[in-house]
A and B are shown apart, each in its own frame.
Chain A
C-alpha cells in the first residue's frame, strides 16, 4: 500500500534534486528552474499532509490546499520578476553565467 511516507520521500527526492541544481549549475535560467522544483516539492508534501488528516466528518481539510494555492501564486510572481532581472542582466553583460557576475564577490 502507498503510505504518507512514500509521498514525503518523493517530495524529499525532488527537493534534493532542485537543491543540487542550485548548487551545481552555473546557468541562471537552470537555477531558476531548480528553484521551481524545490517549491513544487514543498507543495507535494503539503497536499499529502492535507489528504492524510481528514476532518471528523470524513471530508478533506482544505487549509493546506489553500496554502499551496498561495505558494503557486507567489512562485509565478517570483519567476516573472526573476526572468525580468535576467533579461536586464543579459542586456548589461551579455551573459547568464553566475561565474561572470562576481562584482559583489568577497
Chain B
C-alpha cells in the first residue's frame, strides 16, 4: 500500500474518531463514528485482511451504527445544553488520556520490531474467506460455538430488558 493512502485513511480514522468525542450532538457523533470505521476498514484491507475489512463495514458501519442512530431517534436526544464545564475535571480526564498515549508511544518506540516493514506475501492459491473459515472451523471450533451461545444469550437478554413489565 502506498504511504499516501495509509496517511489518508489513518488521518481520516483519527480525525473522525476525535470528532465522536468532541461533537455535542449525538447524531453527529454517530455519523463521525461511521466515517472513522470506514477508514479503519480501509486500513484493514491495506493489511491484506479483506474479510475483516468487509465485516467491519457490514457489522459496524451497517448494523451497530443503525442501532445507535435508532436509539438516538427513539430517546429523542437533543444536543447537550452548553453547561458550565468543570475545567479541573476536564483537564484531569484529558491529562490521564494524554499520559496513556505518551506511554503507548514510548513503548512502541522501544519496540525493535516496530521499525521493520511488513514482509512480502507469496501468492496464495486459496482466497481469504476460505482460509479464515478453515482456521475458524478447524482450530477454533469450540470458541465459535461458545460465541454462538453468547449471541443467543445476548438476544434473549435484550428482549427481556426492553420488554415493558406489566404490573
Contact = CB atoms under 8 A, between A and B. Distances in A.
A101 interface: no
Contact of A59 (B40, B122, B147): B122
Interface residues of A, number: 71
A4 B154 contact: no
A85 B159 CA distance: 11
B131 A62 contact: yes
Contacts of A51: 47-49, 118
A54 B143 CA distance: 23
Contacts, number: 226
Contacts of A29: 26, 29-30, 68, 71-72, 77
A10 B101 contact: no
B118 A4 contact: yes
Interface residues of B, number: 80
A8 B162 CA distance: 39
Nearest to A58: B122
Interface in B98-126: 98, 100-101, 104-105, 108-109, 111, 113-122, 124
B47 A69 contact: no
A40 to B, nearest CB: 6
Contact of B21 (A3, A24, A84): A24
Nearest to A63: B135
Contacts of A48: 47
A95 to B, nearest CB: 10
Nearest to B103: A12
Given A36-B64, A51-B47, 7 more contacts: A13-B14, A54-B119, A65-B49, A73-B147, A77-B154, A79-B68, A84-B157
